[in-house]
Amino acid sequence: MTPSSGSSTGRPTGIPTGIPTEACVGIVGTGSYLPARVVDNDEVGGPAGVGAEWIERKTGIRSRRRAAAGEATSDLAAHAAVAALEAAGLDPEELRFLVVATSTPDQPQPATACIVQDLIGARNAAAFDLNAVCSGFVFGLATVSRLLGDGGYGLVIGADLYSRIVDPADRRTAVLFGDGAGAAVLGPVPAGHGVLRTRLVSDGAKRGLIEVPAGGSRLPASSATLDAGLHHFRMIGRDVRDYVSEHVPPMLAELILAAGLTPSDVDHFVPHQANGLMLADLADRAGLAEQVRLTVREYGNTGAASVPITLDETVRGVGVHPGQTVLLAAFGGGMSMAAAMLRWSAGMPASRAA
């Protein structure tokens, strides 16, 4: 297949991690895929009982994309993967690892990553899924960058189809989400570049803020769970916003300091595109308002795909230049938070630059 590109108490802090200096791993190619169908605020606002102006005022979102009836998460992921591999100049068979970060897999098993592996011909890659909800891509980036400490290439994909699990009548969620996928190829980069520091945080005591209650071993699918709407995505938006405002800026400050930098040293701040108003507040609190990169207005909240989609658009749009710093940040169900500080290389695998 050759798709086209297109803690119940206290503050959780996580444990900082980094890549050994002798094994510099970074992003050597990015790609993304957005379904063709554009859905405006009038279309989602009707079933949710709200108007287009209300949606934009409350969320900063004007439109989002919807997957076609025959498209699944693996299809979107495969398109983004091919685009990232093309950007990196790599053949799929060169990949050692393939990770799909998603909370909307094609099916409970097998892993969506195994489907993508077959679709793109990455026959030599160990493939697995990772679910940290909207933080998944950054969790995957941190994981694969460590796995590649002894060399080689890996692919991390964030892909979600939230249009399949939101309740169209729930204005708290239906107006926010869009479908999409983004990907990054990781590999060796010159010394002093690549993934400098990462921070991963989980706070399971707050898991009830974002959830899909049914469909697992605790509440298996049944006519009763379907009738009760327990397979729909649920979120307590105000509490999520308060959690993010309290915990994410300190986490970012700690990571920036651990990397030996200050907020003014960050060239590009790429956060999870949850809600336009929330992002404006977050960027201001973190001292990164001038460097924040946004796609939420056009694409809405694309779950685990939002960070890699926005990163790819930044690379292809305003541009990310060698030596610049890129701060990725995400937050989502679990509750989970993740951040990664990167120093950009020339975008060419180190072993091929000579």
Asked about 131 being catalytic, the answer comes back as no
State how far the Cα of 64 lies from the Cα of 180, in Å rounded to an integer. 9
Q: What stretch of H or E contains 46?
A: helix 41-48
Specify the pLDDT at position 196. 96
- For residue 271, give the nearest of 235, 295, 240 by alpha carbon: 295
Which secondary-structure segment (H or E) carries 225? helix 223-227
Question: CA nearest 275: which of 221, 313, 235, 321?
Answer: 235
Q: Which of 307, 344, 303, 340 is nearest to 324 (CA)?
A: 344
How far apart are alpha carbons 96 and 122 in whole angstroms? Answer: 9
What's the CATH code of the domain at 279? Answer: 3.40.47.10
Q: What is the pLDDT of residue 346?
A: 61
- Tell me if 135 sits within 8 A of 337, measured CB to CB: yes
Within-domain flag for 3: no
Q: What is the pLDDT of residue 21?
A: 37
Q: Are the C-beta atoms of residues 334 and 274 closer than 8 Å to each other?
A: no
Residue type, 195: V
User: What pLDDT, on a 0 to 100 scale, did the predictor assign at position 347?
Assistant: 53
Domain membership flag for residue 305: yes
5 within domain boundaries? no
Coil/strand/helix, residue 253: helix
Does 172 map to a domain? yes
Q: What is the dihedral of CA 39, 44, 50, 55, to 10 degrees?
A: -40
Joined tokens for residue 244: 């993010």
- Residue 354 domain-assigned (yes or no): no
Q: Which of 134, 193, 268, 275 is catalytic?
A: 134
Q: Which of 264, 248, 260 is nearest to 200 (CA)?
A: 248
- pTM over 0.75, yes/no: yes
Residue 15: strand pairing partners: 200
| 311/295 Cα distance (integer angstroms) | 10
* Residue 188 located in a structural domain: yes
Cis before 335 (ω within 30): yes
Number of domains in the chain: 1
Strand runs labelled E in 245-350: 268-271, 325-332, 336-343
Residue 153 falls within a domain, yes or no? yes
Cα angle at 156 between 254 and 178, to 5 degrees?
90
Is residue 272 among the annotated active site residues? yes
Do the domain assignments include residue 2?
no
Instruction: Provide the strand spans (E) within the chain.
Output: 15-17, 25-33, 37-40, 63-66, 95-101, 126-130, 153-161, 179-188, 194-202, 210-211, 234-235, 268-271, 325-332, 336-343
Say whether 24 is catalytic.
no
Instruction: Provide the domain limits for residue 253.
Output: 14-349
Q: Tell me how far apart the alpha carbons of residues 12 and 250 are, in angstroms, rounded to a whole number.
A: 10
121: left (phi > 0), else alpha (psi -120 to 50), else beta? left
Tens of pLDDT, residue by residue, the chain (354 residues): 544 434 333 545 454 444 443 469 999 999 999 999 999 999 999 999 999 999 999 999 999 999 999 999 999 999 999 999 999 999 999 999 999 999 999 999 999 999 999 999 999 999 999 999 999 999 999 999 999 999 999 999 999 999 999 999 999 999 999 999 999 999 999 999 999 999 999 999 999 999 999 999 999 999 999 999 999 999 998 999 999 999 999 999 999 999 999 999 999 999 999 999 999 999 999 999 999 999 999 999 999 999 999 999 999 999 999 999 999 999 999 999 999 999 998 654 444 433
Of the residues 41, 131, 275, 301, which is catalytic?
301
* pLDDT for residue 342: 97
Pick the catalytic residue from 79, 193, 268, 272. 272
Structural contact between residues 31 and 312, judged by C-beta atoms closer than 8 angstroms: yes
Rg of the chain, C-alpha, whole Å? 19
**Alpha-carbon span 83 to 102, nearest angstrom:** 18
